[in-house]
């Protein structure tokens, strides 16, 4: 095989993006605004200021600025672990005997093990700049909490993490990494907040959910002086920060004159996928180019493929604003699948609008098939992938196999968001043949849809 494209395409420091790309600026149909559940009016900057940092609110509400400069301090931090490589998966291609050309953008090459550090450092930076003492947040699988702990340690901020109880117990080493970086980690639901106590009283023995941990983290922030709340996905600002992934990917492809046909990413709250595809979607929106974009989600938590496009609460305690998104309902608690980062009931409002407008498609995949793909990938490409990332691997492999059958030489790019070293309990289940594939029934989903807030706008 001719290998004029290197196995790994790296950018020079001077070629790294210096501004984030705001895809909303090129969207004709803007994502719907966050609304205040009391007044049903769009949330104003003043209202959001109770919860979020000022500069991040400005980014959240900015639908028009195309490029937002990345502050020098953040660029400096990025240089510690970026640019991340765009890898040509020659070994996987050979194994699959496919004429497709497969590339993956690998975001697991930092201690937090995922792309989440890209937004964690930005959010911590703006909190610091505003003179805050610290931040509160939730974490599901632990990747966001880990990334934020690292960013806060670097900037000298306090970090309080509410960690979904099941992960807290199943992933003690993740918890310990966070504590090593100086964070305080509380299993959620806890008795340290009113909402936590309420949920514990209503559901004794519950192992928690992301929606519940968000409510606790927001309540904690409201009661603490000098703290704000930060969130690792879903919000426009997070997707904005994650565009470094897509901008680097595009620069690396352009450097070698490569045109992607298909871009694939896993979707939990939508931040990595949104970050990866934004610059490409921008070209589509401006009529310059065309790509097939595929979001991959777990069949156990199918927000895009089976959810409703509606205003919903972002958290279980209903303390957060309403967002219009593809949602399974804020009461939906997905079965205990092993991709904790993909268990959120909702989806980024930006991606929801793009999906609604037909700019991207979505597929749901079952857990066992995901781990089959993860294992296959690990054995030929060397990297042990995170279960979340392996959703994208599954569909990339499926598409490459289709190319083998049709003889098409498609160029497939997918996001490899992180490594799976803290997910060995999941791999163990798979290796023991004990993994199950739970898919919610229509009746279960309907029960949750019935509780969607009745918002008529």
Ligand X SMILES: *Cc1c(COP(=O)(O)O)cnc(C)c1O
Is 114 one of the binding residues for ligand X (CB under 6 A)? yes
- Find the part of the chain contacting ligand X (CB under 6 A) among 54-62, 193-201, 254-262, 266-274: 266-274
- Is residue 110 near ligand X by the rule CB under 6 A? no
Nearest residue to 289 (alpha-carbon basis) of 252, 263, 256: 263
Q: Biggest alpha carbon distance in the chain?
A: 64
**Helix 72-81 / helix 117-129 crossing angle, nearest 10 deg:** 150
Binding range to ligand X, per CB under 6 A, among 18-26, 92-100, 123-131, 383-391:
383-391
Smallest separation, CB 285 to ligand X (Å): 21
Nearer to ligand X, 53 or 277 (CB): 277
From 17, 31, 246, 270, residue interacting with ligand X (rule: CB under 6 A):
270
Among 110, 123, 237, 272, binds ligand X (CB under 6 A): 272
CB 275 within 8 A of CB 245: yes
At its nearest, how many Å lie between ligand X and the CB of residue 104? 13
Rounded to the nearest 10 degrees, how much is the dihedral formed by the CA atoms of 365, 370, 376, 381?
90
> Contacting ligand X (CB under 6 A), which of 189, 208, 269, 321?
269
Binders of ligand X in range 225-254 (CB under 6 A): 233
Please pick, from the candidates 23, 57, 159, 266, the single residue that binds ligand X as defined by CB under 6 A: 266
**Candidate list 187, 268, 298, 317; residue touching ligand X; CB under 6 A:** 268
Q: Across the strands, what pairs with 158?
A: 134
| CA 175 – CA 139 distance, rounded (Å) | 10
Asked whether 58 and 66 are in contact (CB, 8 A), the reply is no
**Residue 61 CB neighbours (<10 A):** 18
Give the number of other Cβ atoms within 10 Å of residue 94's Cβ: 11
User: Are the CB atoms for 71 and 243 separated by under 8 Å?
Assistant: no
**Contacting residue, 24, 88, 116, 338, with ligand X by CB under 6 A:** 116
* Cβ atoms of 385 and 419 closer than 8 Å: yes
Query: How many chain residues touch ligand X (CB under 6 A)?
Result: 19
189: preceding bond cis by omega (within 30 degrees): yes
Q: Cα 272 to the chain's mean position, in Å?
A: 5
CB closer to ligand X, 387 vs 403 = 387
Q: Does residue 388 belong to the site contacting ligand X (CB under 6 A)?
A: yes
Query: Please, which of residues 340-359 interact with ligand X by CB under 6 A?
Result: 341-342
CB of 416 to ligand X, least distance (A): 9
CB of 33 to ligand X, least distance (A): 20
Q: Give every strand in the sheet of 184-188, ordered side by side.
A: 184-188, 158-164, 134-139, 227-229
Give min distance, CB of 341 to ligand X, in A. Answer: 3
Residues found near ligand X in the complex (CB under 6 A): 114, 116, 143, 233, 266-273, 341-342, 386, 388-389, 417-418
């Amino acid at each position: 095989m001719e290998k004029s494209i290197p196995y790994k395409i790296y950018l020079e420091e001077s070629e790294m993006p210096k501004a984030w790309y705001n895809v909303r600026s090129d969207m004709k149909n803007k994502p719907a605004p966050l609304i205040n559940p009391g007044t049903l009016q769009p949330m104003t900057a003043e209202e959001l200021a109770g919860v979020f940092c000022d500069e991040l609110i400005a980014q959240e509400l900015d639908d028009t600025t195309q490029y937002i400069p990345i502050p020098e301090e953040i660029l400096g931090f990025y240089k510690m672990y970026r640019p991340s490589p765009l890898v040509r998966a020659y070994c996987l291609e050979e194994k699959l005997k496919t004429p497709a050309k497969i590339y993956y953008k690998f975001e697991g090459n930092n201690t937090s093990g995922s792309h989440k550090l890209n937004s964690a450092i930005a959010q911590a930076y703006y909190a610091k700049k505003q003179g805050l003492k610290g931040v509160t947040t939730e974490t599901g699988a632990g990747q966001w909490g880990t990334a934020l702990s690292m960013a806060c340690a670097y900037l000298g901020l306090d970090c309080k993490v509410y960690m979904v109880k099941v992960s807290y117990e199943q992933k003690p080493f993740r918890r310990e990494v966070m504590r090593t970086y100086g964070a305080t980690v509380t299993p959620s639901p806890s008795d340290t907040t009113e909402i936590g106590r309420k949920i514990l009283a209503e559901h004794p023995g519950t192992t928690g959910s992301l929606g519940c941990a968000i409510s606790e983290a927001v309540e904690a922030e409201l009661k603490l002086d000098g703290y704000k709340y930060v969130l690792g996905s879903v919000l426009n600002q997070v997707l904005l920060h994650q565009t470094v992934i897509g901008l680097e990917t595009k620069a690396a492809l352009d450097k070698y004159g490569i045109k992607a046909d298909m871009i694939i990413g896993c979707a939990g709250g939508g931040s990595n996928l949104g970050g990866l595809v934004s610059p490409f979607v921008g070209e589509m929106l401006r009529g310059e180019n065309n790509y097939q974009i595929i979001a991959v989600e777990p069949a156990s938590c199918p927000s895009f493929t089976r959810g409703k496009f509606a205003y919903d609460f972002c958290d279980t305690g209903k303390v957060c604003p309403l967002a219009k998104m593809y949602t399974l309902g804020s009461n939906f608690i997905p079965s205990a699948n092993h991709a904790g980062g993909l268990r959120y009931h909702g989806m980024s409002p930006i991606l929801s609008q793009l999906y609604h407008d037909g700019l991207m498609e979505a597929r749901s995949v079952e857990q066992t098939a995901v781990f089959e793909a993860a294992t296959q990938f690990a054995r030929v490409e060397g990297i042990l992938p995170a279960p979340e990332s392996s959703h994208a691997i599954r569909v990339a492999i499926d598409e490459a196999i289709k190319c083998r059958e049709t003889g098409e030489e498609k160029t497939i790019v997918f996001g490899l968001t992180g490594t799976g070293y803290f997910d060995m309990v999941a791999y163990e289940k798979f290796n023991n043949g004990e993994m199950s594939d739970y898919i919610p029934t229509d009746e279960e989903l309907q029960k949750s849809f019935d509780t969607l807030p009745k918002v008529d706008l």
